[in-house]
Structure 1
Amino acid sequence: MGFFNQWGKFMMAGAGYMARWEIDNAKAIMGSKKLRAVLGLMLIPVILGGIAFASDIAPVLPDLLGGKKAYSPAFYSLGIFIVSIAIGMGAGLITGCIGAGGGFIIAPALMSAGIKGILAVGTDLFHIFAKAMMGSVIHRKMGNVSVPLAGVFLIGAIVGATAGGVINRVLYEINPVLSDAFITTVYSLMLGFLGTYAMMDYLKARKSGFSGDAHGGGEGTELGGVAKSLQSINFPPMVKFDQDLTPGGRQISWIFLVLSGALVGLAAGIMGVGGGFLTFPIFVYVLGVSSMTTVGTDIFQIVFTAGFASISQYAIYGFIFYTLAMGMLLGSLLGIQIGALVTKVVPGVTIRGFYAMAVLAGFVNRIFALPGKLGEMGYIPISASLGDTLNTIGIWAFFIVIGGFSIWVIGTFLKNLKNLKVEEAH
């Protein structure tokens, strides 16, 4: 149980940090008139593409754009674009309101909508890369970047992201269903663990009468036992950091940074979540890097890790659905803004409960989809009709929870709009 609690806190800290990164990024993007104009211009070609598709002009585009039918084209109908905005908004509402990574639900949502797993991963990575690029241009916290720390970390991240991309592509070439089953299994394990811990955390907070922050866990600014042990190992070259925050600064062997980067890159390459949810707890709790330095360095690494993985491992092989990526970008930016405002009028314990429900809904969605995929490959004895039934149950459970949460958040926002405007004015 002690390991479960420690790992749960580790994951929750990462999810909470990733949400703060998303919120800061959204504010930076939406606060720029130029970037808002760019977002508006994004709508034009996609809408025209949807109209062309409806009028039977678009079917010739896959050959022109280099799309591959086996991998799905890089465009689709206007209806799919609207669905992608809705998925992005749902993830954004979770991120902004709950204070934990709503990006965890994007790949399951896309797969539930009929998108192949590898395409969902590549598209999510590209969406994160686009958001990181736009937000980092004017992000205030970029000044905290430790270039030596980031440079060595990225060596491992690039290796890990390459390995993750290769694994997904090899499995897809063997059997697309095997690829989906693998990605589904990874998400089931992660969402199952995180959702169980989040629900226990919520029930504990409710029992104790807690009503504060939406997500628990401090940022661990003090040097823990693991970090002290790792920093005491002298395996040169040693990378120095935090000179401005700690007398004499701190240092750690390059090997631990490369290994950490490889783990983060592998997660990004396989799951399409950018890896930021792992970087923060690893830097702070394992490597002993200060929160200030971690924030800036992680923003820096996400741009390169997500960019490298999305382009080199997915885009050039036709595994990115650009229409979906742009729709999710627009939807998530709007959802984050609304969700962040709602936290001002909703008790923190309530938000914790919704987060646990959202993550567990994602877990149920993926775990119910798995038997049908394993049965299709002949790994377990299950009929196709039973597999489809379980998958349908998982899809309905997922979208009912996420849809209900989204309606509740938007309703709460509209209901308290006057009060929120007054508060913003002050």
Structure 2
Amino acid sequence: MMFFKNFGRFLYHGSRAHAEWEISTANTILRSRKRMMVLGLLLIPILIGGTVFADQLVGGLPEYLGGKNAYSPSFFTMKIFLASIGVGLCAGLITGCIGAGGGFIIAPALMSVGVKGILAVGTDLFHIFAKAIMGSVLHKKLGNISVSIALIFLIGSIGGATLGGWINRVLYDFNPVISDAFITTIYVIMLGALGSYALMDYLKARKAPGGGGSAHGGKDEGSEMGSLPMKLQSMSIPPMVSFDEGLIPGGRRISSWFLIASGFFVGLAAAIMGVGGGFLTFPIFVYVLGVSSMTTVGTDIFQIIFTAGYSSIGQYAIYGFIFYTLAMGMLLGSLLGIQIGALSTKVVKGITIRGFYALSVLAGFVNRGFALPSKLSSIGLIKIPKETTAVLDTIGTYLFFIIISIFAIWVIGTFVMNIKKLKGEEV
């Protein structure tokens, strides 16, 4: 139980750090005319090309795009595109309003409406990569990047992403149902741990004096180094790498092998789950390796671009496992959702939206948890009547979308009702 709680805390801190990157990236894109023009150029071939050529291309694709029936270029309908904007909007609302990553709901949402797990993963990775490239603020953050740490970390993350993509493709080629069951199981574990901790954090905050007013609150992470980082840094296993020289007298040193192992784990999780890896980099760097928060932020931005880019293109796009229509729709929706969510925090109590975040993550957990029996039954691991699994699937899907929809309507409604107040604050 203690391990599960600590794991949830680990994911929660990482989710918050990744949300800060999402918000910063969204603001960078929306405040630049050039970046908005790039977004428009990305959308044109998706919308026009998908409409004109989809019927001719789907089903007649070359084998090198997947070996089986490849998905790319993905079929386009306006209904699919609008639905993807809705998914991105909800994820963006959670990110901007709560300050914790809303990307956890994307893959469950896509799988709930029938998108294959491997396609949901590849699409989410491509959406993160497109956002990272367009909103890159590396030129502003170069002072916070330890190039040596970043390059060594990427050795591991590229290796992990290669293995993760290979695992997903092998399972899909063997049996698409096994592939879905595997991805669903990973999400059940992750969302269960994250949701449980978020709920406990919410209940604890309610009892605290003042009722937990801030949505994004929390102390500065990484100001002190725990026992685990100290132990790892005391192990002199060459080659050693130095970092944080400008922040700590004499700097700190750690074995490159620990960085490579950490990168491998991050890349593996990113390629299997389709989440970019950013939500794991922060807690690993700060709580495991003992890297300062400032260095971690810059290095995290750096690794997301390369890890998500290599995973999405090298492990999924060339095999046909990316739904570009969905990816671009999610990008548009998330950019809008993040802005509305961030503004809403000025007129909504933090404790309330923290409660909604816990419910949203647990809704994703329930959704995937209710879907798991049908997946396991389909591959013969357990025996459950199809009627029962169908009912469980339906319950999980409705619960998930009802909770997410209530949250979205509440946040947007709060935003609209307080537009005059928000304008007054800006003035």
What TM-score comes out, normalization by structure 2 length?
0.95
Partner Cα separation in structure 2 for residue 293 and residue 73 of structure 1: 38
- Preserved contact between residue 25 and residue 139 of structure 1 (Cα < 8 Å): no
Structure 1 residues 175 and 64, CA gap change in structure 2 (3 angstroms): closer
Residue 60 of structure 1: aligned partner: 56
Deviation (angstroms), 1:50:
5.7
Residue 377 of structure 2: aligned partner: 375
Could you tell me which amino acid in structure 2 is paired with residue 118 of structure 1?
Answer: I
Structure 1 residues 139 and 205, CA gap change in structure 2 (3 angstroms): farther
Partner Cα separation in structure 1 for residue 70 and residue 367 of structure 2: 23
Structure 1 residues 157 and 401, CA gap change in structure 2 (3 angstroms): same
Partner Cα separation in structure 2 for residue 142 and residue 78 of structure 1: 41
- Residue 110 in 1 paired to residue 107 in 2? no
Partner Cα separation in structure 2 for residue 142 and residue 416 of structure 1: 38
Partner Cα separation in structure 1 for residue 275 and residue 393 of structure 2: 23
Residue 393 of structure 1: aligned partner: 395
- Residue 169 in 1 paired to residue 169 in 2? yes
Unaligned runs of 5+ in 1: none
Structure 2 residue matching 1:236: 3-state secondary structure:
coil
Q: Deviations over 1:363-390 (max 9, x none)?
A: 0100001111111112111122221111
- Preserved contact between residue 86 and residue 330 of structure 2 (Cα < 8 Å): yes
Partner Cα separation in structure 2 for residue 251 and residue 138 of structure 1: 24
Structure 2 residue matching 1:229: 3-state secondary structure:
helix
405, 410, 417: which one aligns with 1:415: 417
Partner Cα separation in structure 1 for residue 257 and residue 46 of structure 2: 45
- Preserved contact between residue 94 and residue 341 of structure 2 (Cα < 8 Å): yes
Partner Cα separation in structure 1 for residue 150 and residue 425 of structure 2: 39
Structure 1 residues 216 and 178, CA gap change in structure 2 (3 angstroms): farther
Deviation (angstroms), 1:351:
1.2
Residue 45 of structure 1: aligned partner: 45
- Preserved contact between residue 145 and residue 297 of structure 1 (Cα < 8 Å): yes
Could you tell me which amino acid in structure 1 is paired with residue 54 of structure 2?
Answer: A
- The 5 Å alignment of 1:18-97 reads 18-49=18-49, 51-52=51-52, 58-62=54-58, 70-75=69-74, 76-97=76-97
Aligned pair count reads: 421
Partner Cα separation in structure 1 for residue 170 and residue 2 of structure 2: 37
- Preserved contact between residue 5 and residue 196 of structure 2 (Cα < 8 Å): no
Partner Cα separation in structure 2 for residue 385 and residue 215 of structure 1: 43
Q: Deviations over 1:236-292 (max 9, x none)?
A: 111111111111111100010001001100100100000110100010111111100
Residue 323 of structure 1: aligned partner: 325
294, 297, 300: which one aligns with 1:295: 297
- Preserved contact between residue 375 and residue 382 of structure 1 (Cα < 8 Å): yes
Could you tell me which amino acid in structure 2 is paired with residue 370 of structure 1?
Answer: L
Structure 1 residue matching 2:135: 3-state secondary structure:
helix
Q: Deviations over 1:163-185 (max 9, x none)?
A: 11111011101100000000000
Structure 1 residue matching 2:58: 3-state secondary structure:
helix
Could you tell me which amino acid in structure 2 is paired with residue 304 of structure 1?
Answer: F
Could you tell me which amino acid in structure 1 is paired with residue 338 of structure 2?
Answer: I
Partner Cα separation in structure 2 for residue 396 and residue 315 of structure 1: 31
Structure 2 residue matching 1:136: 3-state secondary structure:
coil
Could you tell me which amino acid in structure 2 is paired with residue 382 of structure 1?
Answer: I
Residue 279 of structure 2: aligned partner: 277
Could you tell me which amino acid in structure 1 is paired with residue 56 of structure 2?
Answer: V
Structure 2 residue matching 1:70: 3-state secondary structure:
coil
- Residue 214 in 1 paired to residue 210 in 2? no
Comparing 403-412 with 384-393, which one deviates more in the overlay? 384-393
Structure 1 residues 374 and 413, CA gap change in structure 2 (3 angstroms): same
- The 5 Å alignment of 1:190-205 reads 190-205=190-205
Partner Cα separation in structure 2 for residue 125 and residue 51 of structure 1: 24
Partner Cα separation in structure 1 for residue 146 and residue 289 of structure 2: 14
Comparing 9-18 with 144-153, which one deviates more in the overlay? 9-18
Structure 1 residues 384 and 3, CA gap change in structure 2 (3 angstroms): closer
Deviation (angstroms), 1:72:
3.1
Structure 1 residue matching 2:348: 3-state secondary structure:
coil
Partner Cα separation in structure 2 for residue 5 and residue 183 of structure 1: 22
Q: CA-atom RMSD, angstroms?
A: 1.7
- Preserved contact between residue 50 and residue 73 of structure 2 (Cα < 8 Å): no
- Preserved contact between residue 98 and residue 354 of structure 2 (Cα < 8 Å): yes
Partner Cα separation in structure 2 for residue 127 and residue 246 of structure 1: 37
Structure 1 residues 250 and 27, CA gap change in structure 2 (3 angstroms): same
Structure 1 residues 6 and 378, CA gap change in structure 2 (3 angstroms): closer
Structure 1 residues 190 and 215, CA gap change in structure 2 (3 angstroms): farther
Could you tell me which amino acid in structure 1 is paired with residue 14 of structure 2?
Answer: G
Deviation (angstroms), 1:420:
1.1
Residue 185 of structure 1: aligned partner: 185
- Percent of aligned positions with the same letter in both sequences? 66
Residue 230 of structure 2: aligned partner: 228
- Residue 14 in 1 paired to residue 14 in 2? yes
- Preserved contact between residue 50 and residue 78 of structure 1 (Cα < 8 Å): no
What TM-score comes out, normalization by structure 1 length?
0.95
Residue 147 of structure 1: aligned partner: 147
Could you tell me which amino acid in structure 2 is paired with residue 250 of structure 1?
Answer: R
- The 5 Å alignment of 1:217-256 reads 217-218=218-219, 219-256=221-258
Partner Cα separation in structure 2 for residue 25 and residue 37 of structure 1: 16
Deviation (angstroms), 1:61:
2.5
Partner Cα separation in structure 2 for residue 421 and residue 273 of structure 1: 34
Partner Cα separation in structure 2 for residue 312 and residue 42 of structure 1: 19
Partner Cα separation in structure 2 for residue 370 and residue 215 of structure 1: 33
Structure 1 residues 61 and 70, CA gap change in structure 2 (3 angstroms): closer
Deviation (angstroms), 1:144:
1.1
- Preserved contact between residue 142 and residue 300 of structure 1 (Cα < 8 Å): no
Deviation (angstroms), 1:13:
0.7
